[in-house]
Amino acid sequence: MDKKKELFTCRDVLWYMVFCGFAVNYVLRINLNLTIVAMVLPYPKPAAIVQCNLEDNTMPWMNETAQDSNVSFPITTPSSENVTYEDRFAWNEYQQGLALGAYYWLHWLSQLPGGLLARRYGTKLVFGLGNFLTALLGFFIPYVTHLYSLIMLRVLQGLIAGVMWPSMHDMTAKWIPPNERSRFVSAYLGSSVGVAITYPLCAAVSSSFGWGASFHVTSFLGVIWYFFWHFFVYDSPQQHPRISDEEKKYIVDNISGSVDDQQKEIPWKAIFRSGPVWVTIAAHWSGAWGFLTLLAQAPSYFNFVHGWNINATGLLAGAPHILRMIFSYFFSMMSDWLLRTNRMSLTNVRKLATFVCTGIQGLLIIALGFSGCQPLLAVVFMMIGITVNGAVSASSLANFVDLSPNYASVLFGFCGMVIIWSGFISPVIVGILTNNNQTVEQWRLVFLIAAANSLAGCIIYMMFGTSKEQPWNQYTRLNPKEREMQKLAPEALKCENNTENMSDIEKSKFIEER
């Protein structure tokens, strides 16, 4: 296919729609995390005990007055002299934690069904409704008057949105040739941009129009996106009415033989027993643990240990996520270039990306843990640690499609059910280690545990990882006799390999006996 004939292909349109879709997904996910600051009554609290005694404690990122240790968002609480709190709730920290965590209570439950539903009904419907229905529920949040009503809405939002990430892999397998998958999967990291824009967006809307308006605005974005998604996106090139014949032929020729249009029986037993699948899950777990630690715990670390006032640096809070997306895009382009020019094999490209997003990230987390009382070094290590995680788009995210294009959505759904637990376990460990003990040493243990997870997954994947298409991807195409021959193939190959060390006479006898 001559790419000069088309400046803007249907695959390009799909990339932008997927990018915006994941951005909206995260905007709807974390809008409450920010807006809850304006929803609850402010509680006066003593300033955090700062262990590091810095000579210059008037730096702009330092705390000078008492502030809420659990709040690290760029929203300034107005003075009580000029503001009434008739629209605020008297929720304590435990109740706020219930509201914030409710999104994830059933989020894991819909991961695997999301992949299965995409195989049956198509990603266009499943992914689109995942955002659309979540947005519609968001419109009701400003009208709830009871904590448990809010919790119910958030649980429903999390359950519905859980289908989105695994469902997208089914569309990726049908639309994107292998040598373009790294770049395309970078669109998944639109989620990072969603995180970055939610900080200033919800802060500005809440302060200008009240906290309820922030849910209306973010939900409206979800609805607008859905209408564009419904018009521009189709489940496969064959269904797209506006795709050129050249682009359709290019896609079909490059993915033929690995993707079937017909629904096939899912080889559950083969998937659960597949070593490459579990190795890829281990790599994804390690990257997720490290990233979630930096994303969720670093602000508390700066607040308690360094007395860092993130309210004065709202832009800095979102900068790492913008950098992560930019790094992901260019690293993915480099990965696809390495494949197109045959400079590296597909497996080695995935291993390189895994080393960057887990190995280098682990080393940076260790550096963060040992940065001690140097807040500027800590900020640098945190930002770079989040940035290099962008290589995940060319690593485990893409590797599920490589292993089995036909069952990629199922694999990622299964992976999601496992990975989501890292988001539960990590905060528990942080709470146990730092409860009433906010010291440099305890936080160093937090970061060392995260680094150990990152490095362990890196080592496992570097040793055992592969991107070769698995035999069971085509398993149901075969008749029973061919399936039996496929099972016997490894033994036959082993026998043939043994003959390489025989003499010519021994080989002749071996062949005659067979």
Question: Nearest 5°: phi and psi at 40?
Answer: -105, 160
- Of 12, 338, 356, nearest in space to 187 by CA: 12
Decide: 127 and 171 in contact? Cβ < 8 Å: yes
> pLDDT of 202-248, one tens digit each?
878 888 888 899 999 999 999 999 999 999 999 999 999 989 999 99
In terms of phi and psi (left: phi > 0; alpha: psi -120 to 50; beta: otherwise), the region of 239 is alpha
> pLDDT of 364-421, one tens digit each?
999 998 987 787 888 889 889 999 999 998 898 889 989 988 888 888 888 888 888 8
Note the pLDDT of residue 502. Answer: 45
- Using DSSP, state whether 62 is helix, strand or coil: strand
Residue 346 has pLDDT above 60, yes or no: yes
* Span 271-289, average pLDDT: 93
Note the pLDDT of residue 503. Answer: 46
> pLDDT of 98-114, one tens digit each?
887 788 888 889 989 99
Question: In CATH, what number does 270-474 get?
Answer: 1.20.1250.20
Q: What is the pTM of this model?
A: 0.74
> pLDDT of 439-498, one tens digit each?
888 889 989 999 999 999 999 999 999 999 898 887 555 555 554 544 444 444 344 444
Of 138-147, 253-262, 379-388, the least confident: 253-262
Residue 143 has pLDDT above 60, yes or no: yes
Task: Copy the structure tokens of residue 45.
Answer: 């609290």
Query: How many CB atoms within 10 Å of residue 342?
Result: 7
Q: Which sequence spans correspond to the domains of the chain? A: 10-41+88-234, 270-474
Assign domain 10-41+88-234 to its CATH architecture. Up-down Bundle (1.20)
Residues 6+ apart with CB under 8 A from 491: none
Residues 6+ apart with CB under 8 A from 371: 377, 378, 381
Could you tell me the pLDDT band of residue 2, with boundaries at 50, 70 and 90?
Answer: very low
Same fold, 10-41+88-234 and 270-474: yes
Could you tell me the pLDDT band of residue 42, with boundaries at 50, 70 and 90?
Answer: low
Could you tell me the pLDDT band of residue 64, with boundaries at 50, 70 and 90?
Answer: very low
Q: What does the alpha-carbon distance between residue 164 and residue 327 come to, in Å, rounded to a whole number?
A: 23
